Structure 1
Amino acid sequence: MTVALMWEARAVPGRGAELLAWAREQRLPGRPPLRRETFRAPQDRVLVITWWDAPHDADLPELPEPETGSVTRPVHRWRFERVAEE
């Protein structure tokens, strides 16, 4: 089964580039994911998606919370599993 972990944070206004650089530098402990992509969006948002060959409820490494004061709210995290294409 393929599981996708999504990590999304919103930087303090004007610190989006800093948050993006921080997210790109983060290394996940243990085995690497099958795939990892990083995105940015308006309002200084950063999104990281990692793909894993694992069960939906597997204990997988995730990006941590950024340092206090660099984001406007707690990080949002979602977990999805791939479904068959029709």
Structure 2
Amino acid sequence: MTVTLMWEARATPGRGAELLAWARAQTLDGVPLRRETFAAPGDRVLVLTWWDAPYDADLPELPEPGSDLVTRQVHRWRFASHGTQDR
């Protein structure tokens, strides 16, 4: 089974680039199948990691950044893959 962990944070105003750099520099205890990092307007940063593991497996996640860097607690979700479609 492929499990995807989603980590999303919103930086304090004007610090989106700093939050993006912080997220990209974080290491995990383990190597995911894939890791992708995104940025969006509003100083938002999203990190997705894909793992070959059961849905309820204990998987490494990115930590909370310092409270001075974000406007709220990080949002985290876990998803189970049900396949992919290519064009």
TM-score, with normalisation over the residues of structure 1? 0.95
Which stretches of structure 1, 4 residues or more, deviate above 2 A after TM superposition? none
Correspondence list, 1:34-49, <5 A: 34-49=33-48
SS in structure 2 of the partner of residue 18 of structure 1? helix
Percent identity over the alignment is 74
Aligned position for 2:17: 17
Q: 2:81 & 2:41 partners in 1: Cα distance?
A: 27
SS in structure 2 of the partner of residue 9 of structure 1? strand
Aligned position for 2:73: 74
Q: 1:70 & 1:7 partners in 2: Cα distance?
A: 15
Aligned position for 2:51: 52
Aligned position for 1:4: 4
The letter of the residue matching 1:71 is: V
SS in structure 2 of the partner of residue 20 of structure 1? helix
Over 3 Å counting, the alpha-carbon distance change for 1:65 and 1:85 in structure 2 is closer
The letter of the residue matching 1:52 is: W
TM-score, with normalisation over the residues of structure 2? 0.94
Query: What's the CA shift for 1:84?
Result: 3.8
